A and B are shown apart, each in its own frame.
Chain A
Amino acid sequence: MTLTMGRPMREIFGETVAELADDDPRIVMLDGDVGSSTRADIFEKAHPDRYLQMGIAEQNMMGVAAGLATMGLIPFISTFVSFAVVRPLDQIRVLIAQTGLNVKITPGYAGLFTGQTGMSHIIVDDMSIMRAMPGMVTVSPADDVEARQVLRWAAAYQGPCYVRLVRDATARIFGEDYRFEFGKAVTVREGRDVTLFSTGTQLPRVVEAADLLATDGIDAHVVHVPTIKPLDVAAIVSAAVRTGRVITVEEHSVIGGLGGAVAETLAEHHPTVVDRIGFQDIYPESGPNDALLEIYGLSAPRVADQVRRILGRA
């Protein structure tokens, strides 16, 4: 499968939330002084009265979002994943997750693609943290098409949610007829030998890796898990039953994220050997995107190499 490039998810973010706000006066955008990066500036141009600059003060931003939600407004949060998750973590826990208030935590700059910013701006464990938090749901879209749909879903969803977006353009995997379903995994490629579970923008690279594996006679089944919580347990078990062998691939720590979630689920429902490809308990360095994918084994050829090695077919 030859994939075309999609548009940068951050542009989809600014555009889609602005479009949603055209029809819904309750939608407001809170920005932690990165609107020119996350493209919340697109929203600001469309709805200057509902763009709320919060300054470089993320803890207060989360609390203000909670307060706005009590007044019936629907706040979307613009900042980077690192500053949306760990810096104001207690504010999210107490004021948003424990209250169930209708705040949309929708940061950009998930994963490795942070524009060469450095270790502080790359967060490897955001899904682990948000998935573990009671009262919070976690969604990780794979491309620009899905990101637009997830943002539309988030606006309509009643309650707090965490949607992790990516800065740069990545390959497009879904056609315009694709429909995101909250809590549902998606079979992207049918195969019989091994199931490759993926999430976020790692998915297109896993699909390309599956094509490379096919030339070696390995028939991979590829399942995309956009909703990390609540997890689609039935789909995960069914894929494990089908292939009997499971590998997870994520641009994220293997501890607690997709790999952790799949391993926990299968241990409980259908014990299966699970290997986890991703960051192995490290802090990645920053650099050019393609170089980083090579270094951390997440480019399509490097994923294919690791799968071959795991399956003893190297």
Chain B
Amino acid sequence: GHSSIGLYAAMALRGYFPVEELMTFDAAHSRLQGHPDMTRLPGLDMSTGSLGMGISAGMGMALGARLTGRDSRAYVMLGDGECQEGEVWEAAMAAARYGLDNLIAIIDHNKLQQYGWSGDGPDGRTPPQMPGELVAKWTAFRWRVLEVDGHDMTDILRVLAEAARGDGRPVAVIAHTVKGKGVSYMEGRYFWHTRAIKPEEFAIAMADLGEPLLAGEGARP
């Protein structure tokens, strides 16, 4: 979905296309569309964007691997807000039925969605789920549930290795994250889901992240 920009960066560094092409992101005629389009960009296994659909496609890939005798796994990234889609739970039901332990869903649990319900949480909104709700639900759907600090790469590698050791159940990795992690004015603020960054805000963000500014970056337009 919208995390395509991260996916494209990883693909470019892996050699799927030149790193310079990243600068065409969101431009007209770009292969790097706002949501990934497998008909434009080779190397994408699936087009996504409409929430709740990725896990079904991933289930099809995991089931297809089994039917065709391939030893491969399907990884699906979901948002915690996305888990409000009914299709997610249709897939959760069916994948457990088929015992697809080569299907691994990673849920980005940052406790925020685009707008959410009003309430007494940060900025007057409430999280997409109650504390513990995701673990309870995926467990109830007969998935193996693992939890991880989604900002700790060592912990992520540990949990992915653990997830790959199949026990006959599909795996839900609940990745606890903070939206806007590391950027002082973004952390935990729901409205950064949709807000575009200004040049001076970019400079602050890069400073917060300890990253150098390149020539011309962060200047007032």
Contact = CB atoms under 8 A, between A and B. Distances in A.
Given A55-B93, A55-B97, A98-B39, A67 B56 contact: yes
B33 to A, nearest CB: 11
Interface string A25-50: 00010000000000000000000011
A55 B49 CA distance: 24
Interface residues of A, number: 30
B171 interface: no
B172 interface: no
Contact size class for B? 20 to 34
Interface in A35-85: 49-50, 52-55, 57, 59-73
Q: Is the interface of B mostly helix, strand, loop or mixed?
A: helix
A70 B57 contact: yes
Given A60-B90, A64-B94, A95-B46, A71 B61 contact: yes
B56 A99 contact: no
Interface in B43-80: 45-50, 52-53, 55-65, 67-68, 70, 74
A290 to B, nearest CB: 38
Contacts of A62: 56
B39 A67 contact: no
B60 A70 contact: yes
Contacts of B52: 59
A90 interface: yes
Contacts of B87: 57, 59-60, 63, 91
A5 interface: no
Given A72-B68, A73-B68, A100-B39, A67 B57 contact: yes
A10 B89 CA distance: 30
Given A67-B59, A67-B61, A94 B94 contact: no
Given A65-B60, A70-B46, A94-B47, A99 B39 contact: yes
B40 to A, nearest CB: 11
B61 A94 contact: no
B31 to A, nearest CB: 15
A71 B97 contact: no
Nearest to B52: A59
B122 interface: no
B86 interface: yes
Given A57-B90, A71-B70, A63 B47 contact: no
A98 B47 contact: yes
A68 B64 contact: yes
B136 interface: no
A52 B56 contact: no
A95 to B, nearest CB: 6
Interface of B: 37-39, 45-50, 52-53, 55-65, 67-68, 70, 74, 86-87, 90-91, 93-94, 97
Interface of A: 28, 49-50, 52-55, 57, 59-73, 90-91, 94-95, 98-100
11 contacts: A49-B67, A55-B90, A59-B86, A60-B59, A70-B60, A71-B70, A72-B64, A91-B50, A91-B56, A94-B48, A95-B47
Given A60-B59, A91-B53, 17 more contacts: A55-B90, A55-B94, A60-B56, A63-B87, A67-B58, A67-B59, A67-B61, A68-B61, A71-B64, A72-B68, A91-B56, A94-B47, A94-B53, A95-B47, A95-B53, A95-B56, A98-B37
